[in-house]
Structure 1
Amino acid sequence: MLVAAAVCPCPPLLVPEVAAGAGPELDAARNACLDALGVLAAAKPDLLIVAGPAGPDERGPFPAGSDGSFEGFGVGLTVRLGEASTGSPAPERPLPASLAVGAWLLELARWSGAPVEGLGVEEQLAADSCLRSGAGLAVRAERVALLVMGDGSACRTVKAPGYLDERAADFDAAAVRALGSADLAALSALDASLAYELKAAGRAPWQVLAGAARGAGLGGQLLYEGAPYGVGYAVAAWS
């Protein structure tokens, strides 16, 4: 059963080495992410699953010990998602960027609790498939926690990656309300087509969370929201 969840944004800029001089602009978001991870640790899960958006070739499970790199963003920094079990085969695939950011956050927080695995969620995965995937995660162990990586729309300003779209602010506001209040129905109802048009990569992982949380009776707390680069970022903790 799902006992806790943390929702965090996943821009590589969250990593100070990648952000360089712009690093301080996301200090509040980083600190909120650490607070959310504290909620996960306090829940004492048996298994932590990090879920985040992924491309078609990056979807599916990533075992403990999988490596990620930020070399594609100009930084020679590598991270590892938890520790592989003794004798287990070496992971075959590198982590997608979203899970690499999640692994970096866990290293920053010095996570030493439950074993950690990853799940790449294809950004265009249909809502019903996301919900089923989440339900499957929730029964992986007696006490499951999720670290859910994902961004809102990328169309909040004219300088945003997707330029300005007048629909973006309302989409993000609805998503933030749902994440902050653990509103499963509202998360499940997020429009996949609209999310794709607004480049909101978090939609599918958030709906995986909604599927995992059914019947868990968790409450939510919003720890951060903002759009410093024209992209909607939110941090929330569920427990």
Structure 2
Amino acid sequence: MLTFPEIDPIIFSLGPLHIRWYGLMYVIGFIASYMLVKKQIKEFKFESLSLHFENLNMVLILSVIIGGRLGYVLFYNLPYYMKHPLEIAATWNGGMSFHGACIALFLGGWLFCKKQAIDFWKTADIYVATIPIGLCLGRIGNFINGELFGRVTDSPLGMIFPGGGPSPRHPSQLYEAFLEGVILFAVLWSLRKRPWEKRQFWPHGSICALFFICYGVVRIIVENFREPDQQLGFIYNSITMGQLLSSGMITAGLIMWLLRKRRSHIVDKNQ
């Protein structure tokens, strides 16, 4: 059995203001994404995105925060927030949904690109290749907080979490950090040039589609080790809300891939 490293979730305090590791992870994730997206804009000479880069970043950051929070409210704890609507805005109490953030990112990015006449699918490919970094850091933040821990296990990897009772549990946050973060980033980053160099087989939008599919598969697997949210439990038999939403992501990714391939073939025929 491994020992849980009891790290204070609060880095330091300035009066009533608390600087937390979880919040810092978000900040580092945004900065890393900013730098890598900027690198790709130069790499691919994507001038139309370069002109609106800063404004788009603001839209996407707001989309992550608003979508992540509303996703948690709607998907994971709606009855509670219907009784306590004023707490919906209390993000400092925890409660963010990746799937909600993903939907908001997609819609926010699409609306912005449409308004500014920027190719949405090129933009989506560039940004999603950097998302796994934020996912990795976010899961590390969950681990430091001792939240979203795994199910009870007798595995040597088991840990006793402060809020998880006396039994050892899977450190599922670290599983997710590795699979959703490190591995998924390695895959997407290594393939990021394909739509720009081999458009016949990798049309623009295919990296975005691949992200949806791969994330959905990984999340479904890891959910088998993760303790379901206490207020929600299992949705049906042993199926969790995370698995249900991730199944939707896989379906959306497959449809996206097929539609982009079809669109690419139609454009090539007309040229």
Q: TM-score range by the shorter chain?
A: 0.3 to 0.5
TM-score when scaled to structure 2? 0.34
Q: Which has the higher contact order (CA 8 A, sep 6+)?
A: 1
TM-score when scaled to structure 1? 0.37
Structure with greater Cα Rg: 2
- Which of the pair is proportionally richer in strand? 1
